[in-house]
Amino acid sequence: MNAVRCAEWKRTTLETDIFAEINLDGSGQSDVHTGIGFLDHMLTLFAKHGFFDLKVSVKGDLEVDYHHTMEDLGLVLGNLIRQAAGDKAGIRRYGSFLLPMDETLVQIALDLSGRPCLVYDVPSPAPRLKDIDVRLFREFFQALVNQCGLNLHIHLVCGDEVHHVFEAIFKGFAKALDQATGYDPRIQGVLSTKGVLD
C-alpha cells in the first residue's frame, strides 16, 4: 500500500502571503480563501473533482489588481503537486480528460514529466469574468506548470459562456491530474525508459 501523499508550503512576499496544503489521496474536501470569489469556486471544484484535499489561505494586494495573487498561487500549487507526487514511482504519469459543461467542451492533457510546458488554447468568449481579466488564468497555469515541472495542454473545443469555460477547465484539469497521479500496479519504478522523471 502506498503512503498518503501530502505537502504544504508557505510563501510570503511584499505582494502576497500564501499558505496551502494538499493531499493527493484525499476525498475532495476543501477550505479555500483567496480573496477572489470566483477563484475560490474554481479551486473548490478542482479539489472536489480530483478527490484532492486542499486548504488555501491567501492575503494578496488585491487593491492593486488580481495578478500577483493568481500568479503566486499558481506557483504555490505547482510546488505542492510536485512535492506531494514525490519520486512518482508507480504513478501513471499521463492524464487526459474531455469535459463537457452545457455548451462548453474542454480538452485537457498532461504529463508529469518534470519538464514544464504549457499549451494554452483558450479563445475566451469574453475578456472579463465579473472583475477578473480572464488572461490571468493563463498566468496562473503558467506559474503552476513552471513550478510543478508539468507538461499541460488546455484546449477549448467550444464554449459560449465564460463561466462554463473556466469551470470546465478546472474540472478537466482535476480529472486529468487525478488520473496521472493515480497508481498502476503494473508500473515498477517510474514510467520512463530513462528511469527518472525530471
Range of the domain at 170: 6-181
Convert the pLDDT of each residue in 46-101 to its tens digit. 999 999 999 999 999 999 999 999 999 999 999 999 999 999 999 999 999 999 99
Assess if residue 193 is contained within a domain.
no
pLDDT at 3: 63
CATH code of the domain covering residue 144: 3.30.230.40
CA atoms within 13 A on the CB side of 113: 13
Residue 187 falls within a domain, yes or no?
no
121-164 residue pLDDT tens: 999 999 999 999 999 999 999 999 999 999 999 999 999 999 99
In this structure, of 1-10, 85-94, 140-149, 177-186, the range with the lowest mean pLDDT score is: 1-10
The confidence score (pLDDT) of residue 192 equals: 87
pLDDT of residue 194 exceeding 90 = no
In 3-state terms, what secondary structure has residue 122?
A: coil
In a domain, 198, yes or no: no
Per-residue pLDDT band for 1 (boundaries 50, 70, 90) equals very low
Whether this prediction's pTM lies above 0.85 is answered by yes
Q: Which residues pair with 98 in a beta bridge?
A: 107
- 186 found inside a domain: no
| Domain count of the fold of the chain | 1
Which residue has 515498477 as its cell numbers?
Answer: 188
Statement: residue 33 has pLDDT above 70: yes
Model confidence band, residue 197 (pLDDT cutoffs 50, 70, 90): confident
Instruction: With respect to residue 162, please indicate whether it lies within any of the assigned structural domains.
Output: yes
Residue 109 counted as domain residue: yes
What's the pLDDT at 198? 76
Residue 97 lies inside a defined structural domain of this protein: yes
* Residue found under cell 479551486: 43
| Calpha distance 115→189 (Å, rounded) | 19
In a domain, 188, yes or no: no
What is the three-class DSSP state of 14? coil
Q: Give the β-pairing of 117-121 and 151-158.
A: parallel
Q: Which of 179, 45, 157, 170 is nearest to 103 (CA)?
A: 157
Instruction: In whole angstroms, give the CA distance from residue 147 to residue 150.
Output: 8
